[in-house]
Structure 1
Amino acid sequence: MADATVSIDPAKLTPISIEAMANQATINIGTIGHVAHGKSTLVRAISEVNTIRFRSELERNITIKLGYANAKIYKCDNPDCPRPGCFHSTRSKEPIELPCKRVGCGGTLKLIRHVSFVDCPGHDVLMTTMLNGAAVMDAAMLLISANETCPQPQTSEHLAAVETMKLKHVIILQNKVDLISEEQALSNREQIQDFIKGTIAEKSPVIPISAELKFNIDAVVEYIYRNIPVPVRDFSLDPRLIVIRSFDVNKPGCGVDQLKGGIAGGSILRGVIKLGDQIEVRPGYVDVGEDMKVRVRPYRSRVVTLNAEANALQFAVPGGLIGVGTLLDPTLCRGDRLVGSVLGTVGSLPMVVVEIEIEYFLLRRLLGVVSEGKKQAKITKLSKNEHLRVNVGSSTVGARVAGIKETAAKLVLNPATCAEIGESIALSRRIEKSWRLIGWATIVKCRSIKVETE
Structure 2
Amino acid sequence: MADTIDVKNLTPLSMEAMANQATINIGTIGHVAHGKSTLVRALSGVTTTRFRSEVERNITIKLGYANAKIYKCDNEECPRPGCFASTDSGREIAFACARPGCSGTMRLVRHVSFVDCPGHDMLMATALSGATVMDAALLLVAADEKCPQPQTSEHLAAIETMKLENIIILQNKVDLIDEQQALDNHAEIRLFIRGTVAEKSPIIPISAQYHLNIDAVAEYIYRSIPVPVRDFSAAPRLIVIRSFDVNKPGYEVDQLKDGIPGGSILRGVLRVGDDVEIRPGHIEVGADGKYTARPYRTRVVGLMAEENQLQFAAPGGLIGVGTLLDPTLCRGDRLVGSVLGAVGTLPKVFVDIKIKYTLLHRLIGAASSGKKQAKLAKLAKNEELRLTIGSSTVGARVTGVGDREAKLTLSRPTCAETGENIALSRCFGRSWRFIGCAEIVTAKAIKLELD
Please tell me the TM-score bracket, short chain as reference: over 0.9
Q: Which of 14, 17, 29 is matched with 2:14 structurally? A: 17
What residue identity is the alignment partner of 1:216?
N
Q: How far 1:7 sits from its partner (Å)?
A: 3.9
Match for residue 425 of structure 1? 422
What is the DSSP-based 3-state SS (H/G/I as helix, E as strand, rest coil) of the residue aligned with 1:161?
helix
How far apart, in 2, do the equivalents of 1:373 and 1:117 lie?
35
Q: Indicate the larger mover: 294-303 or 59-68.
A: 59-68
Cα distance in 2 for partners of 1:316, 1:396 equals 26
Q: 1:272 maps to which residue?
A: 269
Q: Which amino acid in the other structure matches residue 198 of structure 1?
A: G
Aligned residue for 1:281?
Answer: 278
Any idea what SS the aligned residue of 2:364 has? strand
Q: Quote the offset at 1:259 in angstroms.
A: 1.7
For 1:396 and 1:116, the matched residues in 2 are separated by: 22
- In the alignment, the residues of structure 1 paired with residue 370 and residue 51 of structure 2 have an alpha-carbon distance, to the nearest angstrom, of 38
Aligned residue in 2 for 1:242: 239
TM-score between the two structures when normalised by the length of structure 2: 0.98
Aligned to 1:328: 325
Larger displacement relative to structure 2 (283-292 or 85-94): 283-292
Matches of residues 426-441 of structure 1 in structure 2 within 5 Å? 426-441=423-438
- Distance in 2 of aligned mates of 1:372 and 1:233: 43
Q: CA deviation at 1:253?
A: 2.2
Provide the rounded CA distance (Å) in 1 between the counterparts of 2:3 and 2:346: 22
Which residue does 1:95 correspond to in 2? 92
Q: What residue is the counterpart of 2:48 in the other structure?
A: 51
Question: Hey, what's the Cα distance between the residues in 2 that align with 1:223 and 1:421?
Answer: 35
| Amino acid in structure 2 at the alignment position of 1:323 | G
**1:417 and 1:273 mapped to 2: Cα distance?**
23
Q: Distance in 1 between matches of 2:368 and 2:40?
A: 33
Listed one character per residue, the Cα deviations across residues 47-102 of structure 1 (whole Å, up to 9, x for unaligned) are 11111111111111111111111000000011110111100110000000011021
Report the Cα offset of residue 372 of structure 1: 4.6
Matches of 2:100 and 2:447 in 1, distance apart?
A: 64
- Residue from 198, 210, 214 that aligns with 1:213: 210
Return the TM-score normalized by structure 1. 0.98
* Partner Cα distance (1:69, 1:142) in 2: 17
State the identity as a percent. 71
Q: State the 1:375 CA deviation.
A: 2.5
Superimposed CA distance per residue, residues 314-348 of structure 1 (whole angstroms, 9 cap, x where no aligned partner): 10000000000100000000000000000000000
Q: 1:381 aligns with which of 378, 381, 389?
A: 378
Cα distance in 1 for residues equivalent to 2:447 and 2:227: 37
Aligned with 1:412 (options 409, 418, 426): 409
- State the alpha-carbon separation in 1 of the partners of residues 297 and 426 from structure 2: 35
Q: CA deviation at 1:252?
A: 1.3
Separation in 2 of the partners of 1:212 and 1:395? 33
What is the Cα deviation at residue 451 of structure 1? 1.3
Matches within 5 A, 1:129-278: 129-278=126-275
Check conservation: 1:210, 1:216, Cα contact below 8 A.
Answer: yes
CA contact (8 A) 1:5 1:276 kept: no
RMSD of aligned residue pairs (Cα, Å): 1.1
Instruction: Confirm or deny: 8 A CA contact 1:369 1:377 kept in the other structure.
Output: no
In structure 2, runs of 5+ residues without a counterpart are: none
1:147-193 Cα distance to aligned partner (Å, 9 max, x none): 11100000000001111221110101111111111111111111100
CA contact (8 A) 1:237 1:271 kept: yes
Q: Distance in 2 between matches of 1:171 and 1:422?
A: 28
Q: Is the 8 A contact 2:291 2:447 kept in 1?
A: no
Secondary structure, counterpart of 1:367 in structure 2: coil
Separation of aligned partners in 2, 1:401 and 1:117: 35
Q: In the alignment, which residue of structure 1 is the partner of 2:63?
A: 66
Residues 14-49 of structure 1: per-residue CA shift (max 9 Å, x gap): 110111011100000000000010001111111111
**One-letter amino acid of the structure 1 residue matched with residue 139 of structure 2:** L
Q: Secondary structure at the match of 1:35?
A: coil
Post-superposition Cα deviations, 1:115-161, rounded to whole Å, max 9, x if no partner, equal 00000110000000001111110000000001111000000000011
Q: Which amino acid aligns with 2:151?
A: Q
Return the letter of the residue paired with 2:334: R
1-side partners of 2:409 and 2:151: how far apart? 29
Rounded to whole Å, the distance in 2 between the matches of 1:402 and 1:370 is 26
Structure 1 counterpart of 2:143, one-letter code = A
Distance (Å, rounded) in 1 between the aligned partners of 2:348 and 2:4: 30
Q: Distance in 2 between matches of 1:355 and 1:135?
A: 21
**Which of 431-440 and 366-375 deviates more?**
366-375
Q: Which amino acid aligns with 1:170?
A: I
- Deviations along 1:328-380, one digit per CA (max 9) or x if unpaired, are 00000000000000000000001111111111111121111254544222211
Q: Count how many residue pairs are aligned between Structure 1 and Structure 2.
A: 451
- Give me the whole-angstrom Cα distance separating, in 2, the residues matched to 1:177 and 1:310: 34
Counterpart CA distance in 1 for 2:15 and 2:318 is 17
